[in-house]
A and B are shown apart, each in its own frame.
Chain A
Amino acid sequence: MRILLLAFCLAARAAAADPKVVLVVTADAADFVHCAGGTIAAMADRGAAAHLVRVTNDEKDSWRLSPEETARRVREEVEQAARALGIQKVHHLGYRAGELASVSPTELRDRLAFYVRLLKPDVMFLPNPYAEYVEALDRHYTGSAAEEARRAAALANYQPPFAQVGLAPHYVPELYYYAAPVDPRRREPESTATFVPQPVTREIAATFDRKLRAALALRTINFSLAMRIRQRLEDTGRRLPLLDTVDDAAVAKLVEINLRKLAAIGAEKTAFQLAEEFHYAGLDYQIPQKYLIPPR
């Protein structure tokens, strides 16, 4: 039994060091780039085949564009962003943005579980459904469905038709839960020491430029952000000199300021300059430390 356990541990550690397939689940075009882009790019650099499943169509977030035109543009832009990070393929589920509350959680889970079985990832990135004060609730619903999909995809009796067409059960050994750093309690210890993802930090100095390039590709969302900030300031008798003229250069500068600060927040209380923060569930999530017996 001990030998089996040790073999499992070694295999899991090997997987942790060198993922072959990475599955990134995102609710929208920006979240995975801003919160996890640098770490995803680093894994792609190490040879992982990275795939992105994008759940919504982002139709709501634009400035003076129809939902249809917004969705069309953002689809192209997210493909560019994914390429910048080394992601091989984007799978668009096409749900309407802002409307996931009315989507069956089981339906969403099943669609995500399909990709888990199809791609057989070693590592999965998902929005953290337990992160609080996150504004876009699509992220919460997506994270919840993704977490459930990871579990369901490993069960032999889940969706027998999948197995019949060759999609065998698959267990994803490593999870990275990501979220924008808005939850004031995100770094507090979890309520129990076992079977709970724990906060980790990943340095992204080597991949930050690509993360920035990916973020800059999201032109529709970035322009919308800049215009909304400017409008809010105008409505309250203020101005931001950077946005006196909202052109490509100004928007790019705003995006860079945003990403550098996010990376600095991720690196707080570490020796890193630029980093991303996650809740990570790896080997210790499956086998708590107290059960790991060192070899004699």
Chain B
Amino acid sequence: MKVPVWLILTAAAALAAGPLPIKDLPPGKVMMVIQPHHDDHTTDYGMGGLIAQFTDAGYESHFVRASNDEKDGAHGYGHNDLINERECKAAIAILGMSELYSLSWRNDYMDPVPLQELRAQLIFLIRKHRPDVVLTHDPWGHYDRNPDHRKVARAMGDAYWLAGLENVHPEHFALGVRPHRVPYLFYKARVDYGKGHEPNVAVELNESQVRRKMRAYSTHRNVYASPAMARSVREQLAQEGLELPDLRGLTDEAAAVEMEEWHMDWISRKRGRENGVRYAEVYYFVDEFDHLPGLKEYLRQHTVQR
């Protein structure tokens, strides 16, 4: 069988790919997390550890949740919305974030939302808080089946730089805000989705950041930490005469929380192992002058401190 050369080269490149560079925090004081959903800030493909790292470093931080999350959970729409918002506030507090903006677009129905309207909201919030860093979904990610992810990512793909232009929404300036371009971006790298989610940096986490990420994740009880899941696992093990000693004596709910936290610990260790450190998360990082490929090297070499 003839194997195409391009396939061999691609496979060789993948095998040759070593650990990612470990990225330190970029300079700044303000960080924003702009995500479609209440729980996107702390899923197993980022970003809880990095958020904790920013808040540990003293960054002022704000979380923007674009949808109302009414579909996410076992309750009715209104009830889910209220529970998810409450749990979101508790989870981001664990990570050190203080402020939550809920834009409350209808969950899972964001495809028909006018892009410019959502974009205008994000531009305004960027101008109000002037973040040095934004953590968000990758506008160029492939295979994302979630319409809310796609919509917010695409709106952010415009908003982060259009916010810096005076001729974009000049009406905002009547409120005292000024143009502001976001210089640094961390895009989620959902590596289990494959192409279009290839990270270019790893962020090393410490033990405390991983622990807080685990707690923040399991705080979303309405959608994670299902007691039924824990009961099912324990029943299956019992049929084989096995048990997990760490779960002995715990209620199903407490066992579910414990197991979710193991999962977050496992994924943080796995990303760490892949990149030569104990714990890590991986991202696609956009640097301040990456949009100027012809100038970024010159700027790096010739810029001096004032």
Assess the B305–A238 pair: CB atoms within 8 A.
yes
B19 to chain A: closest CB distance in Å?
Answer: 17
- B144 proximal to A (CB < 8 A): no
Return the contact of B167 from the options A70, A137, A190, A237 (Cβ within 8 A).
Answer: A70
Task: Show 6 residue pairs from A and B whose CB-CB distance is below 8 angstroms, ordered by the A residue.
Answer: A60-B168, A99-B116, A188-B10, A229-B292, A239-B303, A265-B293
Contact stretch, chosen from B89-97, B270-278, B283-291: B283-291
Residues of A within 8 A of B145 (CB): none
Out of A188, A232, A239, A259, name the residue touching B294 (CB < 8 Å).
Answer: A259
Is B306 in contact with A237, judged by CB distance below 8 angstroms?
A: yes
The stretch of A2-10, A11-19, A176-184 in contact with B is A176-184
Known contacts being A60-B167, A102-B114, A137-B154, is A189 close to B299, with CB within 8 Å? Answer: no
B162: Cβ under 8 A from any A Cβ = yes
Mark B residues whose CB is within 8 Å of A.
4, 6, 9-10, 13, 27, 114-116, 140, 154, 157-158, 161-162, 164-168, 181, 183, 196, 198, 200, 286, 288-295, 297-299, 302-306
What range describes how many residues of A lie at the interface?
Answer: 35 or more
Please report whether the interface of chain B is mostly helix, strand, loop or mixed according to DSSP.
loop
Is A59 part of the binding interface, using a Cβ–Cβ cutoff of 8 Å?
Answer: yes
Q: Is the CB of A257 within 8 A of B295?
A: yes
Q: Within the assembled complex, what's the spacing in Å between the Cα atoms of A64 and B173?
A: 14
Chain B residue nearest to A262 in the complex (CB):
B294
Is the CB–CB distance between B302 and A240 below 8 Å? yes
A39–chain B nearest beta-carbon distance, Å: 17
Q: Is B161 in contact with A135, judged by CB distance below 8 angstroms?
A: yes
Q: Contact: A261 with B304, CB < 8 Å?
A: no
Q: Which residue of A lies closest to B5 (CB)?
A: A189
Residues of A within 8 A of B (CB): 34, 59-67, 70, 98-99, 101-102, 132-133, 135, 137, 180-182, 184-185, 188-190, 193, 225, 228-229, 232-234, 236-242, 254, 257-262, 265
A-B contact count (CB 8 A): 103
> Looking at the complex, which one of B9, B10, B114, B200 makes contact with A184 (CB distance below 8 Å)?
B200
Contacts of B116 in A (CB 8 A): 99, 101-102
- Given contacts A101-B158, A242-B302, is CB(A66)–CB(B167) below 8 Å? yes
A30 to B269 CA separation, bound complex (whole angstroms) = 46
A98 to B115, CA, bound (A): 11
Min CB gap B163→A, angstroms: 11
Instruction: Give the distance in Å from the alpha carbon of A185 to the alpha carbon of B154 in the complex.
Output: 20
Q: A102-B115, A237-B306, A238-B305 are in contact. Are A232 and B298 (CB under 8 A)?
A: no
Report A42 CB to chain B, min CB distance, Å.
Answer: 20
User: A185 touching B198 by the CB < 8 A rule?
Assistant: yes
CB-CB under 8 A from A238, the residues of chain B are: 303-306
B304 A239 Cβ-Cβ under 8 A: yes
From B13, B168, B198, B298, contact of A98 by CB (8 A):
B168
Q: Could you tell me if B294 and A133 are in contact, using CB atoms closer than 8 angstroms?
A: no
A193 to B9, CA, bound (A): 13
